[in-house]
Amino acid sequence: MKTKKTLALLLSATLCTGLLPVTAAMAEESEKPEITFPLEEPITLTAWRVSPTSDPKLGITTFNDIEAVQAWEEATNIHIEWQIPASGQEQTNFNLMISSGDYPDLIWDIGQYYVGGLDKAISDGVIIPLNDYMDNYLSDYNALISQNDFVYRDCKTDEGNFPAVYFINTPDQGPWYGMVIRQDWLDECGLEAPVTYDDWHDVLTAFKEKYDAKAPLALNPNAGDVFNVFSAGYGVGVLGASGRGFINVDGTVKFSPIEDGYRDYLSMLHDWYEEGLIDPDFYSNTSFVYVPTDDLWATGNAGAWPDIYSLIDMRPYMGADEENQDMNVVPIPAPVKEEGDQLHLRQYNFTRGTGTCAISTSCEYADIAAAYLNLGSQEKWAWLAYYGVEGDTYTVEDGKPVYTDKILNNPDGLSANDAMIKFCFRSAGMYIWDRELQTAGPKALQAINEVWPSNADGDYMMPNITMTSEEANRYSTIMGDVNTYVQENTTAFILGDKDFDEWEDYVETLKDMGVEEAISYQQAALDRFNER
């Protein structure tokens, strides 16, 4: 095995540096045989992948229990032996697998578990770069990611490697998270939906006065929400959100908590806190991550909050008390300073997802494995993965797959989401996320397609950057203390325990703690990304 890995390392280095003579490379290209499915002779590939579920009622102990996987095997003549780590032991199991040197043929989601990044996984001889496969065995995947230059760069590493086959959102995904408000309260107060922060102040004041709401606006302990929805109008993010407060403004990295916009945002929240317009216990409500706890929304103690799109239509039926079962919760655009402002932060999914499948250096059928992974970038195969077997779990209507009642109204009482897990699976390549919309209510569809993206894009979002090991180690050391200090002072400024006259001292303390150095690591990684 060591001899095989040494050879793989040498080959990987040659491919990455482009040292093969052009004539030899052309000759090798011309000699590559075409691979068609099903294979004439069956083969077995091993694969490490986290289980799709730990719910015993679904009866899934391995991916081979899933009907769509069984159909995929029959259509390819490739059997997969799955190595599935125990729930809660994924990282430990992964580390043991890597340290053993005995790798499976395919490693799913390696980017989420491999310390040091995917370039290091290649240089360490764990996985092979896919560069030499892109024009042939991965041609459909190559075509899929080549439709957009940003996506193409996003699927490469800083060193120019294509390390794995990624999940590519098909089509691009709208925001699945944003602000909601009780329309019934607006109607009863005779008010229009708020647009600016000033409008929001007036609406929340009315909610406070008419309904004696404890938290007219419910915000989580980060002084906002998970995805910077409420702070976006000030052009800043908050801790706990994607990127931990770092934003990308036209190629320049900024750390929101030291920006003037952050100070102004906290100043507004301080005033609202003093007036009783936000939850007085926001800073201690650690169970409020994505959505508010039941004691706020279900009891009439909140009139607006950030929410997940799929929950909006169900809110009246999710435990609301008797007086609030007629609540009319609707999506609403994020607040702005001035009417007509365009925001650049929101819940945002890049076209390239984080899921991957890589081919290890132990794989004896690398060509076949690449061709196998390429299938997920062909529509008919993606439909098999994400919709299951035609005529069983889906039919085609007007050229589009539509789930049958086996998914939407499962005869065994499974929810639609559970039925998708039981009968379908997620393949690399096309990630057909919008299948979920077949189970969404009208308000959910309005939120994700119309309301939440109406005044906000993701232009300030940091892309999927990669730090070097040295940068990452130093960055982690700095940000541990920085994040703690920012969180403590954010709460103190809002509560009034710290005066805004101390803002400059707060910023200088963060600089003394090394925040500018941390910014420089983010900037260097962003620059490398932009140069790919």
> Cβ atoms within 10 A of the Cβ of 524, count?
16
Read out DSSP for 278-311? Answer: B-TTGGG-TT-SSS--HHHHTTT-EEEEEEEGGG
Statement: the pTM of the whole predicted model exceeds 0.85: yes
441 near 426, Cβ under 8 Å? Answer: no
* Beta bridge mates, 107: 48, 358
Q: Is 303 left (phi over 0), alpha (psi -120 to 50) or beta?
A: alpha
Helices 469-495/260-274 angle, 10° precision: 30
227 near 456, Cβ under 8 Å? Answer: no
The C-alpha atoms of residue 330 and residue 192 are separated, in whole angstroms, by 13
State the pLDDT at residue 31: 62
**Helix/strand/coil (H, E, C) string of 33-58?**
CCCCCCCCCCEEEEEECCCCCCCHHH
For 466, the token pair is: 């990669």
Which stretches of the chain score pLDDT less than 70? Answer: 1-31, 241-243
State the pLDDT at residue 319: 84
For 290, the token pair is: 């994505």
> Cβ atoms within 10 A of the Cβ of 332, count?
21
Burial per residue of 386-419, b for 16 or more beta-carbon CB atoms within 10 angstroms, e otherwise: bbbbeeebbeeeeeebebbebbbebeeebebebb
163 near 123, Cβ under 8 Å? Answer: no
> What's the chain's average pLDDT?
92
Tens digit of each residue's pLDDT (9 = 90 or more) over 202-245: 999 999 999 999 999 999 998 889 899 999 999 999 987 666 79
Q: Which positions ≥6 away from 219 have C-beta within 8 Å?
A: 225, 230, 269, 278, 279, 282, 305, 306
Give the E-state strand segments of 33-185 in sequence order.
Answer: 43-48, 78-83, 106-108, 165-169, 177-182
Q: Please count the residues of the chain.
A: 532
The C-alpha atoms of residue 66 and residue 421 are separated, in whole angstroms, by 8
The C-alpha atoms of residue 314 and residue 442 are separated, in whole angstroms, by 11
The C-alpha atoms of residue 99 and residue 90 are separated, in whole angstroms, by 14
The single-letter code of the amino acid at 458 is: G
Dihedral angle sign, alpha carbons of residues 308, 181, 459, 486: negative
Query: DSSP alpha helices (H): ranges in 176-244?
Result: 183-189, 197-211
Helices 515-530/503-512 angle, 10° precision: 70
Q: Phi, psi at residue 24, to the nearest 5°?
A: -65, -40
User: Residue 178's closest CA among 331, 315, 11, 310?
Assistant: 331
For 419, the token pair is: 């039925």
Using CA atoms, how far residue 527 sits from 475, 477, 499, in Å, is 16, 22, 37
38 near 2, Cβ under 8 Å? Answer: no
Place of tokens 């259509």: 75
User: Residue 456's closest CA among 353, 331, 272, 278?
Assistant: 331
Using CA atoms, how far residue 285 sits from 214, 223, 237, 421, 454, in Å, is 14, 11, 20, 32, 30
State the pLDDT at residue 7: 35
For 145, the token pair is: 């990611």
Q: β-strand 215-217 against 302-308: which pairing, if any?
A: parallel
For 448, the token pair is: 């994700």
State the pLDDT at residue 285: 87
The single-letter code of the amino acid at 522 is: Q
83 near 47, Cβ under 8 Å? Answer: yes
> Cβ atoms within 10 A of the Cβ of 74, count?
11
Using CA atoms, how far residue 440 sits from 372, 401, 437, in Å, is 32, 16, 5
The single-letter code of the amino acid at 297 is: W
> Cβ atoms within 10 A of the Cβ of 514, count?
17
327 near 298, Cβ under 8 Å? Answer: no
